[in-house]
Each structure stands twice: as structure tokens, then as C-alpha cells.
């Protein structure tokens, strides 16, 4: 998401040249680009006007140091203001209260509240919290069953409820259960509607009063665009919101919600849904998102993701092997593909890289079905064949293809990709990052 915004703002860097100071005159065209970029990204008009005014005010008179171009100096101002627009610093959940700390999730139907409840429960469980989840959605028949299933999947407790109960009564009983069973956190999933209505707002206000949550999180679909702003206003008026959760940030939305919702609600964006997987929930970092929007990448998030998902022992073993020049075999290749899939695939990694490196890796798109076939091909080989791919002549390739249920041509494609990966490992050992990124195009199955 936000690709169009990134592309337009990147042009700003190229439009300003050879000035020692930013002035009203030399930034006029660039500010027009910024304004158009944000409007095209579906950012709310009042937010755009305020943002452009603040950037212009901060930029005019800005000195351009010798190491920067005027465009880069302006981008520095835009980066700071984008970060401020989305929130000052990382806003963490505030659970500093006598247990159980109650977290109330509110939002429209389809925003992803139930899935977010499970993702959040999983995140808190990893922080050694004892979590209880319950559904106060008595209107959507599958909501209660869905949350029960997800709770079991992430390994947290579920408090049962029925469609015949009053939502505030469900939450009150769940809170009492959480107290008597020593839970640290109670997450309450609430009902939504297809559109805001008075009955829903009255109901959720009663529910809020019944359990006095320490966190009231507004869950909003990042793909809603301008609609998200109107919804945000309604929930802000009905509830004392403490934070926002942006879901579906991995979609093809234009991104306006990410830049509008904080300004409209006054509540910080605390969490973002970055994938449909149950572990696809992350803390929101305004400055990192601003960097990604401006094409600077988000390498810090990529490093954190790697720390959580990559097997450190396996990585160290491979690093020593490559450094010692002992070769990179097909078993190593299969292992690295598996690690990459844990990190959301190559596409997810590339999305967090700076614009120049993203361009170098252009075309390195991953087809998950082809990846599965790739792994099946390698698993159809003997250990000796994986260690020494040179052994793979015509007869062996036919046997492997039959075992994996693929064609001989696909086996040959895998071997070609493996050769590219071998070259990539040599570049890694030499520390050539630019060539390494270009080499990634051939490492995995393409489009």
C-alpha cells in the first residue's frame, strides 16, 4: 500500500535543484505535488490542508547543507511532519492497572475486530500475560464461534457467550471470571454494523461503562479511505478512544486512513495488521512508516521481524559454512526458503527496503504454490543429490519429477534458480549488497 504516494513524493526530491535555502517560490511546485499525492492517497481534505500548511511553514527558510540537495532538505521536513501527523513516537498499550486490564475493541463490521482480538491475545501471551477473550457480538452468528476457534489456535482462554445475552452482561460476567481466575488481560470483541447507527453507539457506550476498559481501541480497515474518517468521528464522539488499530495494511489500499485517522480521532495508532496470518500484528512506529512512504524503507522493522522468525542457530551455521567456502547446497537452499516464508515471503521483505534496493529487486515476486512445488522437488531428492547437485543427470531428474508430481522442466528451473542463489551467497560473503539485491530476481520462482 501507499506505493502511489511514495512514487509522487519521491519526485519532489528531483524537482528542486541548486538552491542554498528553501523559499516560498522554489518549493511551490513541490508542495503542489505533496498536496496531490495525499489527495490521491485518499487522505481527508482538512488533514491535507493542515499538513501542507505545516510543511510550508517549517520548510521556508530551511538551510540546505552542503551534503544535501534542496529536494532532500524538503523531504527531511516532510518526513518529520508525516511522523508527527501519524503520532509522536511509538504509542504502546497501557496495561498498568490492577489485573485484569480490560481491552475493548470497537469498529464497523468487517474491519477485522475478531481476528485482531486473536492476534492481540497471541501478542500478549508472548509477553507472558495470561489472556482471556470474549465476544459481545450477539448479531453476527459466527462471531462467537470464530473467536473461540481463534483463541484455541493462539493458546489463550475463551469466555463463552450466547446470542441471547445482552452485550454488557457478557462483558461483566467475563470480567468477573477473569478476576477470579487470575487473568492479566481481558479482551472484549464487540459487535459492528455495516454503517454507524445510534443503536450500536448506545450499546457500545453501555458496554464501555460496564467494564471501564484501560484501552479502548478503534479498529479500522486501512482500505476504507474517506469512509474511515467519518466512522472515526462517530466512534470518537461515542467513546473515549485510547488508540487505533489499522488492519489490512498489506492490502492495495491508497493509504489515506493511515494518515487521516490519527488526526481525526486524536488517538494514536498503536497497532497495525500487516498480514492475514495470526502473527500479522505489529506495533506502529510513525517515523518508520514515514520513512517507508518517502521511499527510505523500514530496515529496523525488517531486522526485528528477522529476530523473531529466523532460527539463529541455523543462520549462524549457514554463515560459517559460506564464509569457510564449503559451498551452499540444495538443503541449505530449502532451509533459507522456509525461513523467508516465515518472514512473510520475499515480497514482504522487499517492501521494507529503501527505494533504490526495491528497484534493484524488482520482479522478485513469489508464487506460494510454486514455492511449495520447489520444496517438494528438493524433498524428492536423496541426501547425496541435495549435497551434490552435479549428480543430477537426465534419469535422476525424471525420477525426481515423478516423485514431486512436476515436470522435468520444473526441475531444471529449480536448478537454474539454485545456481542464482549460489551466486547470491558468494555476494553475501563479499558484502556486495547492490549486486545481492539484483541477484534475488533469480533466486525464487518469478511471476
Q: Are residues 246 and 324 in the same domain?
A: no
What CATH number corresponds to the domain at position 37? 1.20.120.140
Q: Are residues 154 and 244 in the same domain?
A: yes
Region 404-429: mean pLDDT is 79
What is the pLDDT, as a whole number, of residue 316? Answer: 61
- Residue 366 reports pLDDT greater than 80: no
- Residue 247 reports pLDDT greater than 50: yes
Q: Is residue 447 domain-resident? A: no
Cell numbers representing residue 203 in the block: 450499546
User: How far is 12 from 10, CA to CA, in rounded Å?
Assistant: 5
Q: Is residue 174 domain-resident? A: yes
Percent of all residues in the chain with a pLDDT value above 90, rounded to a whole number: 16
What is the pLDDT, as a whole number, of residue 6? Answer: 62
pLDDT band at 5 (very low <50, low <70, confident <90, very high): low
Q: Are residues 322 and 397 in the same domain?
A: yes
What is the pLDDT, as a whole number, of residue 58? Answer: 79
Helix residue ranges, H only, 330-393: 330-342, 345-350, 355-360, 368-379, 383-387
Boundary of a domain, candidates 251, 275, 301: 301
Q: Are residues 110 and 43 in the same domain?
A: no
Number of structural domains (the chain) is: 3
What is the pLDDT, as a whole number, of residue 180? Answer: 93
Q: Are residues 333 and 370 in the same domain?
A: yes
Q: Is residue 12 domain-resident? A: yes
What CATH number corresponds to the domain at position 195? 3.40.50.300
Q: Which of 142-156, 264-278, 330-344, 397-411 has the lowest mean pLDDT?
A: 330-344
Q: Which residues contact 164 (CB under 8 A, 6 or more apart)?
A: 138
What is the pLDDT, as a whole number, of residue 235? Answer: 84
Region 267-286: mean pLDDT is 83
pLDDT band at 47 (very low <50, low <70, confident <90, very high): confident
Boundary of a domain, candidates 40, 62, 86: 86
Collapse the DSSP code of 174 into the 3-class scheme (helix H, G, I; strand E, B; otherwise coil) and give the result: helix
- Would you say 363 and 342 are in contact if contact means Cβ atoms under 8 Å apart? no
- Residue 119 reports pLDDT greater than 90: yes
Q: Are residues 111 and 239 in the same domain?
A: yes
Q: What is the CA radius of gyration of the chain?
A: 25
Boundary of a domain, candidates 26, 52, 86: 86
Residue with cell 482480538: 117
Q: Which of 15-24, 46-55, 71-80 has the lowest mean pLDDT?
A: 15-24
- Residue 86 reports pLDDT greater than 80: no
What CATH number corresponds to the domain at position 366? 1.10.260.30
Length of the chain equals 447
Closest CA to 112 of 203, 251, 219: 219
Tens-place pLDDT, residues 126-147 = 999 999 999 988 888 788 999 9
Q: Are residues 162 and 52 in the same domain?
A: no
What is the pLDDT, as a whole number, of residue 299? Answer: 42
Closest CA to 389 of 334, 319, 321: 334
Planar angle of CA 393, 395, 396, nearest 5 degrees: 65
Collapse the DSSP code of 211 into the 3-class scheme (helix H, G, I; strand E, B; otherwise coil) and give the result: helix
Q: Are residues 203 and 178 in the same domain?
A: yes
Helix residue ranges, H only, 28-131: 28-40, 45-59, 70-86, 113-126
What is the pLDDT, as a whole number, of residue 131? Answer: 93
Closest CA to 46 of 316, 218, 256, 307: 256
Q: Are residues 142 and 272 in the same domain?
A: yes
Using CA atoms, how far residue 268 sits from 21, 87, 258, 286, 357, in Å, is 34, 6, 11, 10, 31
pTM above 0.85, yes or no: no
More confident residue, 231 or 397: 397
Query: Dihedrals φ, ψ of 50, to 5°?
Result: -65, -40
User: How far is 273 from 251, CA to CA, in rounded Å?
Assistant: 10
DSSP symbol at 186: E
What is the pLDDT, as a whole number, of residue 418? Answer: 81
- Would you say 282 and 274 are in contact if contact means Cβ atoms under 8 Å apart? yes
- Residue 379 reports pLDDT greater than 70: yes
More confident residue, 149 or 319: 149
Q: Is residue 427 domain-resident? A: yes
Q: Is residue 285 domain-resident? A: yes
pLDDT band at 284 (very low <50, low <70, confident <90, very high): confident
Q: Are residues 150 and 39 in the same domain?
A: no
Q: Is residue 93 domain-resident? A: no
* Structural domain span for residue 127: 101-301
Q: Are residues 141 and 266 in the same domain?
A: yes
- Residue 45 reports pLDDT greater than 90: no
Closest CA to 92 of 84, 76, 79, 103: 103
Percent of all residues in the chain with a pLDDT value above 70, rounded to a whole number: 66
Q: Is residue 91 domain-resident? A: no
Closest CA to 326 of 334, 316, 318: 318
pLDDT band at 298 (very low <50, low <70, confident <90, very high): very low
Q: Is residue 50 domain-resident? A: yes
The alpha carbon torsion through 202, 204, 209, 212 (nearest 10 deg) reads -160
User: How far is 39 from 4, CA to CA, in rounded Å?
Assistant: 11
What is the pLDDT, as a whole number, of residue 183? Answer: 94
Q: Are residues 261 and 150 in the same domain?
A: yes
User: How far is 412 from 396, CA to CA, in rounded Å?
Assistant: 12
Amino acid at each position: 500500500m501507499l506505493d502511489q504516494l511514495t512514487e509522487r513524493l519521491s519526485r519532489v526530491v528531483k524537482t528542486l535543484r541548486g538552491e542554498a535555502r528553501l523559499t516560498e517560490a522554489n518549493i511551490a511546485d513541490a508542495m503542489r505535488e505533496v498536496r496531490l499525492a495525499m489527495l490521491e492517497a485518499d487522505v481527508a481534505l482538512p488533514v491535507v490542508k493542515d499538513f501542507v500548511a505545516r510543511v510550508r511553514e517549517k520548510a521556508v527558510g530551511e538551510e540546505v547543507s552542503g551534503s544535501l540537495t534542496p529536494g532532500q532538505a524538503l523531504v527531511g521536513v516532510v518526513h518529520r511532519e508525516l511522523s508527527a501527523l501519524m503520532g509522536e513516537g511509538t504509542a504502546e498499550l497501557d496495561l498498568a492497572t490492577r489485573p485484569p486490564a480490560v481491552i475493548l475493541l470497537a469498529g464497523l463490521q468487517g474491519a477485522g475486530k475478531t481476528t485482531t482480538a486473536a492476534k492481540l491475545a497471541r501478542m500478549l501471551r508472548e509477553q507472558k500475560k495470561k489472556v482471556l477473550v470474549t465476544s459481545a457480538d450477539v448479531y453476527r452468528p459466527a462471531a462467537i464461534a470464530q473467536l473461540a476457534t481463534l483463541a484455541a489456535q493462539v493458546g489463550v482462554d475463551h469466555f463463552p457467550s450466547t446470542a441471547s445475552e445482552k452485550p454488557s452482561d457478557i462483558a461483566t460476567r467475563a470480567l468477573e471470571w477473569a478476576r477470579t481466575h487470575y487473568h492479566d488481560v481481558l479482551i472484549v470483541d464487540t459487535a459492528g454494523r455495516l454503517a454507524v447507527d445510534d443503536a450500536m453507539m448506545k450499546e457500545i457506550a453501555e458496554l464501555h461503562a460496564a467494564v471501564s476498559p484501560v484501552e479502548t481501541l478503534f479498529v479500522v480497515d486501512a482500505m476504507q479511505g474517506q469512509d474511515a474518517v467519518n466512522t472515526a468521528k462517530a466512534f470518537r464522539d461515542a467513546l473515549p478512544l485510547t488508540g487505533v488499530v489499522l488492519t489490512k495494511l498489506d492490502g492495495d489500499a491508497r493509504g489515506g486512513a493511515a494518515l487521516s485517522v490519527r488526526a481525526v480521532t486524536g488517538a494514536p495508532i498503536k497497532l497495525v495488521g500487516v498480514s492475514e496470518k495470526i502473527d500479522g500484528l505489529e506495533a506502529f512506529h510513525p517515523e518508520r512508516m514515514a520513512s517507508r512512504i518517502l521511499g527510505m524503507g523500514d530496515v529496523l522493522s525488517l531486522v526485528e521481524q528477522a529476530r523473531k522468525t529466523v532460527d539463529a542457530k541455523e543462520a549462524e551455521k549457514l554463515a560459517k559454512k559460506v564464509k569457510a567456502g564449503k559451498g551452499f547446497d540444495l538443503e541449505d537452499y530449502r532451509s533459507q526458503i522456509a525461513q523467508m516464508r516465515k518472514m512473510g515471503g520475499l515480497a514482504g521483505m522487499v517492501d521494507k527496503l529503501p527505494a533504490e534496493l526495491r528497484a534493484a529487486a524488482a520482479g522478485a515476486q513469489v508464487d506460494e504454490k510454486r514455492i511449495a512445488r520447489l520444496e517438494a522437488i528438493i524433498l524428492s531428492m536423496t541426501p547425496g543429490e541435495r549435497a551434490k547437485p552435479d549428480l543430477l543427470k537426465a534419469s535422476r531428474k525424471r525420477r525426481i519429477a515423478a516423485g514431486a508430481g512436476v515436470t522435468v522442466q520444473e526441475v531444471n528451473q529449480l536448478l537454474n534458480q539454485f545456481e542464482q542463489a549460489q551466486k547470491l551467497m558468494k555476494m553475501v560473503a563479499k558484502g556486495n549488497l547492490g549486486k545481492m539485491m539484483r541477484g534475488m530476481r533469480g533466486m525464487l520462482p518469478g511471476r
